[in-house]
Amino acid sequence: MQSQEELFKILNQNKLALEQNRPQDYRTIVISISPQSRASLAAKYRLTPLQVHHRLVYFFKHFLGAHHVFDTSFTQDLSLVESAREFNERFKHYMQNGGEALEAAKQQQDLEKAVEDGKPKVRARRRKANATEEAVSAQQDLPMLASSCPGWVCYAEKTHGEILPFITAAKSPQQMMGSLVKDYFAKKSGLTPNQIYHVSIMPCYDKKLEASRPDFYLESFETREVDCVLTTSEIDKMFHEKNLDFTKMTESPIDDMFNKVGVDPATGIETVYGVPGSSSGGALEYIFATAARDIFNMPDINATQASSRVVIKTGKNADVKEYFLIADDGRILLRFATAYGFRNIQNVVRKIKTGKCNYHYVEVMACPGGCANGGGQLPAESEQVINAKDWVGHVESIYQTAQGVLPENNEIIKSIYNEWIVDPSSERARQLLRTQYHAVTQNLGNPLATKW
Q: Would you say 276 and 288 are in contact if contact means Cβ atoms under 8 Å apart?
A: no
In Å, how far from its chain's centre is CA 251?
28
Length, in residues, of the chain:
452
CA distance 303 to 282: 10
Which amino acid, one-letter code, is at 156?
A
CA angle 208, 449, 365 (to 5 degrees): 70
Query: How many CA atoms lie less than 13 Å away from 412 in the CB half-sphere?
Result: 12
User: Which residues fall within 8 angstroms of residue 213, CB to CB, at 6 or more apart?
Assistant: 435
- Identity (one letter) of the amino acid at 257? M
* pLDDT tens digit sequence for 89-129: 999 999 998 888 888 888 888 777 767 666 554 444 444 44
Helix (H) / strand (E) containing 290 = helix 283-294
Give pTM, 2 decimals: 0.89
For residues 6 and 27, give the distance between their C-alpha atoms in angstroms, rounded to a whole number: 13
Picking from 274, 338, 336, 334, the residue whose alpha carbon sits closest to that of residue 298 is 334
Q: What pLDDT, in 10s, does the model give residues 269-287? A: 999 999 888 888 889 999 9
Radius of gyration of the chain (CA): 23
pLDDT of residue 285: 94
Residues lower than pLDDT 70 in the chain: 1, 114, 116-140, 383-384, 442-452
Give the pLDDT of residue 344. 94
Q: In what order do the strands lie in the sheet with 68-71?
A: 68-71, 28-33, 196-202, 228-231
CA distance 270 to 43: 20
What is the number of alpha carbons within 13 Å of residue 446 lying toward its C-beta? 10
* pLDDT in the model for residue 216: 97
Residue 44's contacts (CB-CB under 8 Å, 6 or more residues apart) are 236, 378, 381
Pick the closest to residue 354 from 85, 162, 110, 82 (CA basis): 162
Other beta carbons within 10 Å of 450: 17
Handedness of CA 273, 278, 284, 290 (dihedral sign): negative
Report in angstroms the alpha-carbon separations of 307 from 170, 303, 323.
29, 9, 11
Give the list of residues 6+ apart from residue 425 with CB closer than 8 angstroms, or none.
none
What span, in angstroms and rounded, lies between the C-alpha atoms of 275 and 408? 11
Q: Which alpha helices (H) appear in 68-179, and where do they start and end?
A: 72-94, 100-117, 131-138, 150-159, 173-179
> Residue 233 CB: number of other CB atoms within 10 A?
20
CB 147 within 8 A of CB 153: yes
Q: Are 302 and 80 in contact (CB under 8 A)?
A: no
Give the number of other Cβ atoms within 10 Å of residue 125's Cβ.
Answer: 5
Question: Other CB atoms closer than 10 Å to residue 354's CB: what's the count?
Answer: 8
Cβ neighbours for 446, distance < 8 A, ≥ 6 positions apart:
155, 342
User: Taking CA 182 as the corner, what is the angle to CA 178 and CA 184, rounded to the nearest 5 degrees?
Assistant: 105
For the stretch 422-427, contacts whose Cβ atoms lie closer than 8 Å and that sit 24 or more positions apart, written own/partner, are 424/82, 424/85
- Laid out side by side, the sheet with 361-365 consists of 144-145, 361-365, 332-340, 320-326, 310-314
Helix (H, G, I), strand (E, B) or coil at 414: helix
